Structures are given as structure tokens and as C-alpha cells.
Structure 1
Amino acid sequence: MTGSPPPPTRTQRSRARTLVPLGIAAWLVLEIWLLSLVAAEAGGLAVLALLVGGGVLGAAVIKRAGRRAFRTLTETLQQQEQRKEPGAAPDRASTGNGFLMLGGLLLMLPGLISDAAGLLLLLPPVRTAAARYAEKALERRIPATVRMRRPDGKVVQGEVIRHDTPPGPGAHDEPHPPLTR
């Protein structure tokens, strides 16, 4: 008599996979509710003007930030061609284009909450604080072995070998692939 296979184990759903869809749904309901309140008080044309104005302003912000990012990229490539300080950081005025573009995108999305968040990201102190927060959050999540660099600024290529997990069957039979340059 053969036994039945063990029941499949149900994987635990991550907290983010549960909360993100609920948060997006709540945000959409809140946006629609606020737009209906504004439409009831100021009229439909005012709401349309707000949405079109936000879209136009967002497009202008994204265009400006894109030009700035392209100019920074061009300057960096020219510096590398001339071999002038290849590891030099861009000047302070050219950084923060990512959050500037995110602010423009939020302005382009229809809704008052996204417009308010987009306008906040247009303010340089808010952009700087958001960039610092994102950098610290990223540093916490990336293991130190991934960020190893040589003193001249070049990335050290290698592979991460974890000793805390047991090797799978046949793990020692196959050689590791060679590192490429």
C-alpha cells in the first residue's frame, strides 16, 4: 500500500504582497472621493482644469529633468574620454533627477493626492531628504559583499558563496563557471 504524497506546503505570503494592493485600492478610492468633493464645490470644469494643469506641469518637469540628466551623462562621458578624474562626482545641481522625474510623474497622474506629493518632490529640501532616506534603505538591504570595490574605484568581480545553507545534491560535482570580464 503506497502512501499519498505529502500535502503541498503553503508558502507564506509576504506582507508587502498583501498590503501594497490594499494600499493602492485605498489610494484610488480616496483620489476619486476627493475629486468628487472638489467637483461638487468648484464644478467639473475646475476639476478638469486641475487635472490638465497637473499633466502639463508634470510633463514640463519630466522634460527638464530628462534634459538635465542627459547633460550630466554627456559631461561625464566627456570627462572619461579626456581622462579627467574618472571617479569625480557630478556637481550638486545635477543630482536628484530621479526624484524630480518622480515628482513630475506624480503630477501627471490624475488626482489631488498624487499632485500634492509631486509638488512636494519639486521642493529641493524634500528631494534631498527623500534621497537620503532611499540611500540608507538601500544600504541596509544590500549585503556588504556586493559593495566591495578596489581602491581605484573599480568593482571587484566575484561570486558570493554562502556557507549558512547546505549545498544541494550534486553541488560539488559541477565546477563553478569562470568569471568573465
Structure 2
Amino acid sequence: MGVKAPSRSTIWNIVMSSRRDLGQKHGSDDVVISRCHVKLPMEHEDEVVFPLIMLVVDGQNGAIIAAAMNQDGASFDSIVPPLTQLSIARRIIVDQDIAKELSGGKLPAHVAVRPSAARTATARALGRGFGSVDVTYQISRAIDPKRLLRSRKDKALSPRDARQVILEQLTTHNAARGAPPPIVNWEG
């Protein structure tokens, strides 16, 4: 006769959903640069995939400062300039694979970490996703994108449509946190 305490996984799911929906009031003071896959089936080179995006996330409130979609061959070179203003007072944590891709030392002072550490820091700031879309931080653990297409009439998004949906959800996500829309380096 009593109420059983919730499991650790139930508590974790509640925390992650809350981070996506509400953000954190007092998160890490770091800015994190990492990658994740958006759970939207997208047609790319005759395959159905989840779009791979690179994000610059404010650890304090989960706002997304900048984003780039990897299927476009995007790099952070065009969205690094706003980070120079933050580097004076904020530590920048970067996925070491992204740090290697940046050429010419354009990234301000930063700490390169393993991709798994960058993903963990991003997950702590964002939770399960942004806006109303979920993300996966480890593609190997994600379901096949084709399984999200449930009927014969369902069709994967074009890259252009995926970019538009992602931009709308990033903007909605930031608006809920009182932050400006993110800088993106793709054409919608």
C-alpha cells in the first residue's frame, strides 16, 4: 500500500522534456558548439535521413545562438563572428571534430572536447530538442527515419522544406526564452 518512487529513467525523461519546453534558469555559463540530428525525415541523395545540424547553444538558458545544416556543406565559418563578443566573458566548448574543421583559427579562445562531451553539454542545455521537434544526439541509437513515414502517402521533406521547418522551430524555441532568432547559414 504505498506509492512507488519513479524510476531514474522516468525522472530523466521529465527533466529533459522540461529543458526543451522551459529552458533552464541557471544553467552552465558555457557556450557549446556541437552536432545533433533533427528527427525529421528528409530526402537527401536518394535516401531518407535525419538532417545533421551544428548548433551554437547558450548553456545559461538553452537559447540557440547559431545553426548550420551539414547536408548543405555548411561550416561554422559564417557564424563564428558573433562568438567573438561572447568569448570575453564566456567559455566556449567545442566538439573537437568541429574545431578541426575550422580553418585559420577564426574561432575565438575555446576548449576542444570529445564529441560525446559536447553532445552531453548540448543535451543539458536543450533537453530533447527545440520548439516542437526532437533531436537525437547519437544517430546510432535513433530509429530509421523511414519508420516516421507511417503511410504510403507520407513523404520525406525536401532539404529546403526541412531547413524551413528547422528555422521556424529554432525561432520558436528562442522566442520562448526571450532570445533573438538564431543566425543560420543556409538559404531557406
Q: TM class, shorter-chain normalised?
A: under 0.3
Superposition TM-score, scaled by structure 1 size:
0.25
Say which structure is richer in helix: 1
Superposition TM-score, scaled by structure 2 size:
0.24
Say which structure is richer in strand: 2
Structure showing greater radius of gyration is 1
Whose relative contact order is higher, 1 or 2, with alpha carbons under 8 Å and at least 6 apart? Answer: 2
